[in-house]
Amino acid sequence: MDDPLTLKGFRIYPDYLDRSQQAAMIEDLRGVLRAAPLVQPVTPRGKPMSVRMSAAGQFGWVTDRSGYRYEPRHPSGVDWPAIPASVLSVWDALAACPRQPECCLINWYGEGARMGLHQDKDEADFTCPVLSISLGDEGLFRMGNVARGGKTESLWLRSGDVVVMGGAARLAHHGVDRIRFGSSTLLRDGGRINLTLRVVT
């Protein structure tokens, strides 16, 4: 395995998953989403987010009028499905963490979707990284700082790329400014899936 590219403490593994591995992971995710369909979340202020979300694992991250939090069940009331082995294998290879992830957040970006700069800080153990897998259309990933403001770096993430946010980058602000809709043929109808694996408790 080649050494990762490191930007602002973020470890980036370009083309970590080949096309066949990506396609197999998408099939696994289809099973997850049949049990726990994507939903259109809203912020605590009631503003709809441009991404659609679901999850796998013991917990899912949700947002609604009640706030940001982890929940043990999908909004429909069903338990979250198990994290697929194909996804866990990436964590086992790259996370360098003794604990297994308790949440795999699934974000789907359609045409025009984005994710503003934010921190992943609703978890209890910041010694464990957040690991991100990109599938489908390319996304312009922005990496910031722990404190708001300051210089940022941006990088186009392609299908099969993996990013590990740990150490100094664990609480760094990050987001997706836009996607290149239709830049990948992995998903039948286009769009980008981003998986983020987290230890919650």
Q: What pLDDT, in 10s, does the model give residues 60-73?
A: 999 888 888 999 99
Return the structure tokens found at 145.
Answer: 């700082």
Angle at CA of residue 177, ends 91 and 50, nearest 5°: 85
Cα of first residue to Cα of last residue in the chain, in angstroms, is 31
pLDDT of 2 strictly over 90: no
Specify the CATH number for the domain of residue 154.
Answer: 2.60.120.590
Average pLDDT over residues 85-94: 98
Predicted confidence (pLDDT) per residue in 155-194, tens digit: 999 999 999 999 989 999 999 999 999 999 999 999 999 9
- How is the beta sheet containing 153-157 ordered, strand by strand? 115-118, 174-180, 138-143, 153-157
- The pLDDT of residue 139: 97
The mean pLDDT value for 77-83 works out to: 96
DSSP the chain: -PPPEEETTEEEETT-S-HHHHHHHHHHHHHHHHHS--B--B-TTSPBPSSEEEEEES-EEEEETTEEEEESB-TTSPBPPPPPHHHHHHHHHH---SSPPSEEEEEEE-TT--EEEE----SS-TTS-EEEEEEESEEEEEE--SSSSS--EEEEE-TT-EEEE-GGGTT--EEEEEEETTS-SSSTT--EEEEEEE---
> How high is the pLDDT of residue 1?
63
| Count: domains in the chain | 1
Using left for φ > 0, alpha for ψ between -120 and 50, and beta otherwise, residue 23 falls in alpha
Is pLDDT of 53 > 90? yes
d(CA 2, CA 16): 9
| Short-list 142, 144, 145, CA closest to 154 | 142
pLDDT of residue 73: 95
Handedness of CA 85, 39, 175, 178 (dihedral sign): positive
Q: Domain residues for 107? A: 5-198
pLDDT tens for each residue of 90-138: 999 999 999 999 999 999 999 999 999 999 999 999 999 999 999 999 9
